[in-house]
Amino acid sequence: MNGFTKDALRKQTGTQLAGLCLLLVAGCNTSGSGPSPTAGSVRSSGTTAPTDLQLLCASKTAEELEITDGNVLPVSSAPSGENAYQVNLTFTEGQAVCIIDETGTVQSINKV
């Protein structure tokens, strides 16, 4: 039997398998590697509307557009003028844009 016993073969196979798994896991480590985000990329360091204002926009949009399934979700936001934000929303039937000021007053809602 070529000088190997069944136990020796099992041990060697187990060791090889463990080594392979370790290499796979090490290859998946992405901390600190790869390029850093550039300006204009998703989630770059821009100013966004506070979460409470985004959710208020979503709620008011659902009311105004009579969206009954409750699936109006903010997908992005950005400053709009001096003291307001534009909140881009998505829902089952399409998309909408909501303009809300810093005090929580919705200035406009438009289906796009």
Where along the chain do its domains lie? 51-111
Residue 12 CB neighbour total at 10 angstroms: 11
Interatomic CA distance for residues 75 and 54, integer angstroms: 9
pLDDT given for residue 9 in this prediction: 52
What is the structure's pLDDT at 70?
80
* Angle 36-41-42 from CA coordinates, rounded to 5°: 105
Q: Quote the pTM value.
A: 0.61
CATH classification code of 51-111? 3.10.450
Question: Which of 53, 95, 93 shows the shortest CA–CA distance to 69?
Answer: 93
Question: What does the block give as tokens for 29?
Answer: 């480590």
pLDDT digits 0-9 by tens, 16-60: 655 544 444 445 544 555 555 555 545 555 899 999 999 999 999
